[in-house]
Every structure is written in C-alpha cells, then in structure tokens.
C-alpha cells in the first residue's frame, strides 16, 4: 500500500531534477557617437556617428570635420577653412578602428594678394582674395578607443586626400553610446 507522503516525495524527486534551458543570446549591436577636437594641418573639430555590425569586425561611420586656420596671427585675411562630410567603411581590431571612404570637401583658401591695410596700432593687415572650392576626397582615420559600456575617450588620427586641400591631424575624441 502506498502512503500519501511517499507519493509526494516521489513526485518531488521526479520533477525536481536539474534541467537546463538553452537559448541563443541575441548578438549585441553597437552604436556610438563621438565629438573631438585636435590639431594638424589646421585646427580641427569633428563629429562622427558609427554602427558596428553584429558578429562582424566591420563598421560604417558618418563623419563631419571642420578644420579652421587657428594659428594665424589674424593679420592675414581670409582665414582658411576646410569642411569634410563623408561616409567611411572600416574594420575594428580590439580597441582600434581603421576606416576609409569618400567625402565631399569644401572651404575657403587664399588667392592673390590684394593689399596691405596699414593700422598703426595693430601692425597692419594683409588681405588676399577669398577663393571657395569644393571637391571629392578620400578620408581615412585610425581610432583608438578606451571605453566602458556607455562612455569612452580616445585618439583619432585622421586625414583627407583630395585635389584642393589635403590635410591630416590628431584629435582627442569623446565617445557615447552602446560601446560594449
């Protein structure tokens, strides 16, 4: 004859065995944005947005960089500047991101010498013709990023090869987004 207590223990023993349920974890997607400031051929401010593909070592970055002549003693006009808006494709290797792509480059450069404006207290000013330009360029960058899950800091070595105003430099960049 079965006792009710032995039936309860038998049921507990039967259903309390160790069981594991396995499910494949959804791969993480990484998105990040950055803002940086630096120097090189000209002073530089840059903004970037990036998407890093799931389970692949590749990324796509959209970058805007504004380069301005900041070392001029302001006795020469106009100040030269370069704008760069591009899309870059690259690879991530550990803490490094290597990217290159295509961009639209435009800005202002100095043309012919026009005149010298004498100002006795400011030592005069040299004026040049202001020439606007626009072209297609090949941007490239190498980013080194130290980050936690949401924030990061890093160095960006960058450049743009084009026919009107090639430039290169180094930025200190700050990152935000889904980094890890």
Of 174, 167, 131, residue with least CA distance to 43:
167
Percent of the chain residues past pLDDT 90, beyond the cut: 50
Distance between alpha carbon 168 and the CA centroid of its chain, in Å? Answer: 15
Q: Can you tell me which residue has the tokens 């000013």?
A: 125
- pLDDT for res 141: 95
Residue 5 has pLDDT above 70, yes or no: no
* 95 or 71, which is more confident: 95
124: left (phi over 0), alpha (psi -120 to 50) or beta: left
pLDDT tens digit string along 125-159? 778 899 999 999 999 999 999 989 889 999 999 99
Query: Mean per-residue pLDDT for 61-82?
Result: 83
Predicted model pTM: 0.75
Q: Establish how many alpha carbons lie within 13 A of residue 156's alpha carbon, considering only the half-sphere containing its beta carbon.
A: 27
Is residue 41 a contact partner of residue 160, using CB atoms and an 8 Å limit? Answer: no
- pLDDT for res 78: 85
- pLDDT for res 121: 62
What pLDDT band is residue 28 in, cutting at 50, 70 and 90? Answer: low
Task: Give the largest Cα separation in the chain, rounded.
Answer: 119
């Amino acid at each position: 004859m079965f006792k009710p207590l032995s039936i309860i223990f038998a049921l507990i023993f039967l259903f309390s065995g160790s069981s594991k349920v396995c499910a494949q974890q959804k791969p993480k997607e990484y998105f990040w944005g950055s803002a940086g400031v630096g120097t090189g051929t000209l002073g530089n401010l840059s903004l970037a947005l990036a998407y890093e593909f799931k389970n692949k070592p590749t990324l796509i970055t959209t970058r805007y960089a504004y380069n301005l002549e900041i070392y001029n003693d302001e006795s020469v006009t106009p100040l030269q500047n370069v704008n760069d808006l591009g899309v870059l494709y690259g690879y991530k290797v550990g803490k490094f991101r290597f990217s290159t792509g295509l961009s639209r480059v435009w800005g202002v450069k100095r043309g012919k010498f026009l005149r010298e404006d004498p100002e006795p207290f400011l030592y005069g000013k040299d004026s040049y013709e202001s020439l606007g330009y626009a072209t297609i360029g090949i941007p490239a960058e190498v980013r080194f990023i130290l980050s936690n899950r949401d924030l990061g800091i890093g160095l960006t070595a960058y450049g743009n090869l084009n026919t009107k105003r090639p430039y290169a430099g180094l930025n200190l960049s700050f990152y935000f987004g889904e980094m890890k």
